[in-house]
């Protein structure tokens, strides 16, 4: 195999809220993503998915561990040049679309901002065309460029965030629950679009989600996160056909079905083991499949 | 208004003024919420679900115009009030929170970034209830535990940005539940939640519903959630309800081609296709309202009349209605799309109907 595009090594991210309350959000997580690959990151609410994304894109300073991107170390202090490379080649689609869109800017300018900074067009007409095209691709219309964020529905706003990331043609997109507010049909449209763009440009995705059916569909490999630890990772097939960690199993058992007669009577397997993962080690099952125990 | 109905939206019609012109976002919506029941509102992104329910709590954007309609609420004294006739202040003082609580789609917009979450949960209790500080604190801790926030004592002191997306969503739910409302409106309440915590929250709401006769409206695109909680389902398209029925009627005997598309697009874990199904085309631009049936352009079963005239609601059973000319007695009989037919059969078999 070729070299990984992103390499996360032993990442720890802790937050000190007060002297006696520290949140250990991420604890020794390692994984790689190859060019053109989609790595799905799943896990319960609060397990550290967003934090990992934000550490990678350097909104946080990692407490411990290294991150390499595009053959460069990007943890620790960044040179101006590396920062610029990062801002062009790595984009994040944020979980909370409203708080990531400047309320006073028109959608067209929000999407165009990255293009402006990196000078990715030769004239205004081209800029507007790029913006109009990408809006159309995510199922909005070029006329929407004139509107402000609050004048959109929740799902429309989420697609603005997607358009803003895709328009930069980055090498890596960190997509944090990026289709969670969309109805199934538009989810399908967006996911198909992301796949097409990947086929065209060989970009890689870190696809953070809790919806396992979508993750299964889009990911090549999957990492399962629990309480800030990566408890299992493997190819999509390995995770779905041979889940080994009890937490992964409980996650798979809970996928809801669009069937009222079944859902109304379903009992969930609740995995609430008070395990302490601190002394666990990742053991190898196959070349690609690892489980923490 | 029927005795058992606690909230009834009648012929609601709303336009937004924008730079580009007027957008006719809500085009005559009717919806009933029976007391103690759960009603789901589903439909394509941008179809008007949030706007419809925001109008009930007086939180429409300032560029909106309500052209017509009533939103009738039955109080516990059996008085019927048109919520649209109340001022924002009256709504805030008498209705919102203690009678009708709404959980908004984007949790950050309803949380105050500068205030600890414990305080934010207690705030509503102080406004609507005579309650002491220590009682409010107790109640807050209990609510936090109920929505699955562990280490609640410490978490109370967190600011919103220190929480994960799903935790924020649960805080907003805790705030809504804190005043023990009669009606709970949840706008995509569990989009950021993994299935286990989602189930916990849905069960929690169902428990409260059984104990206190709470009536619930869920806006959601997650058909798994709808299947789990809903008694009735309303399907919305381009500012209108185009199909309504009991949950079984909508899932096992859908009649509107848009509903067919919606059900077909749901990936089940068996889908192994290379591409996911999405309904072709895009929703109509409500700046220039379409003539005839708004879904016609995307409907492969569309007939001549669809381009000319909007279909009325045709009645199928006591509870099941759909707005499509296909239900007209003179319309040709058509076969369900094959994929969907197989899927419905599978679902029926799994459910042993
Ligand atoms: N800026 C911050 N300051 C303090 N604590 C934080 C901060 N960001 C995240 N945390 C904490 O880190 C933990 C992991 O949060 P994170 O947002 O990564 O979870 P997540 O897996 O994305 O969950 P969700 O699915 O609910 O979005 C949580 O306990 C959260 O409270
Ligand atoms: N303030 C506003 N000004 C102009 N248009 C608006 C405004 N608010 C909403 N809209 C438009 O009204 C339509 C309905 O919006 P609404 O938020 O109700 O959609 P929704 O069904 O909740 O969709 P989603 O599932 O994406 O949240 C959308 O097309 C939206 O762009
Ligand atoms: Mg998150
Ligand atoms: Mg909405």
> B49 in ligand 2 pocket by Cβ < 6 Å?
yes
What's the longest Cα–Cα distance across chain A? 60
Question: How far is the alpha carbon of B78 from chain A, nearest alpha carbon, in Å?
Answer: 32
Q: Which of B150, B139, B248, B230 is nearest to B186 (CA)?
A: B230
Q: How far is the CA of A153 from the centre of ligand 4 (A)?
A: 5
> How many beta-carbon contacts under 8 Å exist across A and B?
214
Supply the residue whose CA is at minimum distance from atom 28 of ligand 2.
Answer: B46
Query: Of the ranges A183-192, A242-251, B314-323, B344-353, which one carries the lowest mean pLDDT score?
Result: B344-353
A181, closest residue in chain B (CA to CA): B191
For A206, A230, B19, B298, B310, the CA distances from A220, given in Å and listed in that order, are 11, 17, 44, 33, 46
pLDDT tens per residue across all 293 residues of chain A: 579 999 999 999 999 988 888 999 999 999 999 999 999 999 989 999 999 999 999 999 999 999 999 989 999 999 999 999 999 999 999 998 888 899 999 999 999 999 999 999 999 999 999 999 999 999 899 989 999 999 999 999 999 999 999 999 999 999 999 988 888 888 888 898 999 999 999 999 999 998 788 898 899 999 999 999 999 999 999 999 999 999 898 888 777 777 888 887 777 666 666 678 888 899 999 999 999 98
The ligand minimizing its distance to the Cα of A187 is 2
Chain B contact for A217 (CB, 8 A cutoff): yes
In chain B, which residue's Cα lies nearest the Cα of A95? Answer: B165
Task: Tell whether A181 is within 8 A of chain B (Cβ).
Answer: yes
- Give me the sheet containing A90-93, strands edge to edge: A90-93, A172-176, A204-208, A38-43, A221-226, A229-235, A290-292, A282-284
pLDDT above 90: residue B1: no
CA of B24 relative to ligand 3 center, distance in Å: 34
B154 touches chain A (CB under 8 A): yes
Please give the pLDDT value at position B267: 66
Distance from CA of B1 to the nearest CA of A (A): 28
Q: Which of B50, B198, B227 sits opposite A260 (nearest CB)?
A: B227
pLDDT of amino acid B353:
64
- Minimum-distance ligand to the CA of A47? 1
pLDDT greater at residue B107 or residue B329: B329
The shortest CB-CB distance from B248 to any of A184, A260, A271 is to A260
Q: How close is the nearest chain A Cα to the Cα of B128, in Å?
A: 29
The answer to whether residue B20 neighbours chain A at the CB level (below 8 Å) is yes
**Closest ligand 2 atom, CA of B52?**
18
Identify the CA nearest to A206 among candidates A178, A164, A232. Answer: A178
Q: Which of A238, A241, A172, A185 is nearest to A214 (CA)?
A: A185
Ligand number nearest to the C-alpha of A224: 1
pLDDT tens digits, one per residue of B261-280: 988 887 665 655 667 788 88
**pLDDT at position A274:** 64
Question: Does the pLDDT at position B305 exceed 90?
Answer: yes
CB atoms under 10 Å from CB of B132, counted, come to 9
Distance A95 CA to ligand 3 centre (A): 6
Closest-approaching ligand to the CA atom of B195: 1
pLDDT at A239: 96
Provide the pLDDT for residue B276.
75
Alpha carbon of B173 to ligand 3 centroid (Å)? 17
- Could you tell me if B152 lies within 8 Å of chain A, comparing CB atoms? no
Ligand 1: list residues with CB < 6 Å: A 15, 23, 25, 43, 45-51, 95; B 161-167, 192
Which candidate from B158, B168, B347 shows the least CB-CB separation from A259?
B347
The mean pLDDT value for B69-97 works out to 94
B115-165 pLDDT, tens digit per residue, is 999 999 999 899 888 889 999 999 999 999 999 999 999 999 999 999 999
Q: Of all atoms in ligand 1, which is nearest to the CA of residue B163?
A: 31
> Do the Cβ atoms of B262 and A50 come within 8 Å?
no
Q: Does B221 touch chain A (CB under 8 A)?
A: yes
The model's pLDDT over B179-200, given as tens digits with 9 standing for 90+, comes to 899 999 999 988 878 888 888 8
CB A146 within 8 A of CB A108: yes
Residues 15-74 of A with CB under 8 A from B: 15, 17-18, 21, 23, 42-46, 49-51
* Ligand 2 contact via A27 beta carbon (within 6 Å): no
Average pLDDT, chain B: 92
Split at pLDDT 50, 70, 90, the class of B348 is confident
pLDDT at B281: 85
pLDDT of residue A272: 62
* Identity of the residue in B46, B194, B261 whose CB atom sits nearest the CB atom of A155: B46
The per-residue pLDDT for A185 is: 84
Chain B contact set for A176 (CB, 8 A): 165
Confirm or reject contact between B263 and chain A (CB < 8 A): yes
């Amino acid at each position: 195999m070729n070299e990984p595009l992103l390499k996360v090594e032993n990442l720890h991210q802790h937050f000190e809220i007060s002297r006696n309350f520290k949140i250990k959000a991420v604890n020794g997580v390692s994984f790689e993503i190859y060019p053109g690959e989609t790595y799905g990151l799943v896990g319960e609410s609060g397990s550290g998915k967003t934090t990992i994304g934000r550490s990678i894109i350097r909104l946080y300073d990692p407490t411990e561990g290294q991150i390499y991107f595009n053959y460069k170390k990007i943890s620790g202090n960044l040179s101006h040049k590396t920062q610029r490379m990062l801002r062009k080649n790595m984009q994040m689609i944020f979980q909370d679309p409203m708080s990531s869109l400047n309320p006073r800017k028109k959608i067209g300018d929000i999407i165009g901002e990255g293009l402006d900074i990196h000078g990715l067009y030769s004239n205004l007409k081209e800029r507007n065309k790029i913006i109009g095209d990408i809006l159309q691709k995510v199922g909005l219309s070029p006329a929407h460029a004139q509107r402000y964020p609050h004048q959109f529905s929740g799902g429309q706003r989420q697609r603005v965030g997607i358009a803003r990331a895709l328009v930069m043609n980055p090498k890596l997109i960190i997509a944090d629950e990026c289709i969670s507010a969309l109805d199934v049909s538009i989810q399908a449209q967006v996911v198909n679009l992301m796949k097409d763009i990947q086929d065209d440009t060989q970009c890689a995705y870190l696809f953070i989600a809790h919806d396992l059916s979508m993750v299964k569909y889009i990911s090549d490999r999957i990492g399962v996160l629990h309480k800030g630890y990566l408890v299992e990772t493997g190819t999509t097939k390995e995770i779905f056909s041979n889940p080994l960690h009890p937490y992964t199993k409980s996650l798979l058992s809970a996928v809801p079905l669009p069937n009222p007669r079944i859902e109304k009577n379903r009992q969930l397997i609740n995995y609430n083991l008070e395990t302490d993962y601190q002394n666990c080690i990742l053991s190898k099952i196959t070349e690609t499949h690892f489980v923490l125990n | 208004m029927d005795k058992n109905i606690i909230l009834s939206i009648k012929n609601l019609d709303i336009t937004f003024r924008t730079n580009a012109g007027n957008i006719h976002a809500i085009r005559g919506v009717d919806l009933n919420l029976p007391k103690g029941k759960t009603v789901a509102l589903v439909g394509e992104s941008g179809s008007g679900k949030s706007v419809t329910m925001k109008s009930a709590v007086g939180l429409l954007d300032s560029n909106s115009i309500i052209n017509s309609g009533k939103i009738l609420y039955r109080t516990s004294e059996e008085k019927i009030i048109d919520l649209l006739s109340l001022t924002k202040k009256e709504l805030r003082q008498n209705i919102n929170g203690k009678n009708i609580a709404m959980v908004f789609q984007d949790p950050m917009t309803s949380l105050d970034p500068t205030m600890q979450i414990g305080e934010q949960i207690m705030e509503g209790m102080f406004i609507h209830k005579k309650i002491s500080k220590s009682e409010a604190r107790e109640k807050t801790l209990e609510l936090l535990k109920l929505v699955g926030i562990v280490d609640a004592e410490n978490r109370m002191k967190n600011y919103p940005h220190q929480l994960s997306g799903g935790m924020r969503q649960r805080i907003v739910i805790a705030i809504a539940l804190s005043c023990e409302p009669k009606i709970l409106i949840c706008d995509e309440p569990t989009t950021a939640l993994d299935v286990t915590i989602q189930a916990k929250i849905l069960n929690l709401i169902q428990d409260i519903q059984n104990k206190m006769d709470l009536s619930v409206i869920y806006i959601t695109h997650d058909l798994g959630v709808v299947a789990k909680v809903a008694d009735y389902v309303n399907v919305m398209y381009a500012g209108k309800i185009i199909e309504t029925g009991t949950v079984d009627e909508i899932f096992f005997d859908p009649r509107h081609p848009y509903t067919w598309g919606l059900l077909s697009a749901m990936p089940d874990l068996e889908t192994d296709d290379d591409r996911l199904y999405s309904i072709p085309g895009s929703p109509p631009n409500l700046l220039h309202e379409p003539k005839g049936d708004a879904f016609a352009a995307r409907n492969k079963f569309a007939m001549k009349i669809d381009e000319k005239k909007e279909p009325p609601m045709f009645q199928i059973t006591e509870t099941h209605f759909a707005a499509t000319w296909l239900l007209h007695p003179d319309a040709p009989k058509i076969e369900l799309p094959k994929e969907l037919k197989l899927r419905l059969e599978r679902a029926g078999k799994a459910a042993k109907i």
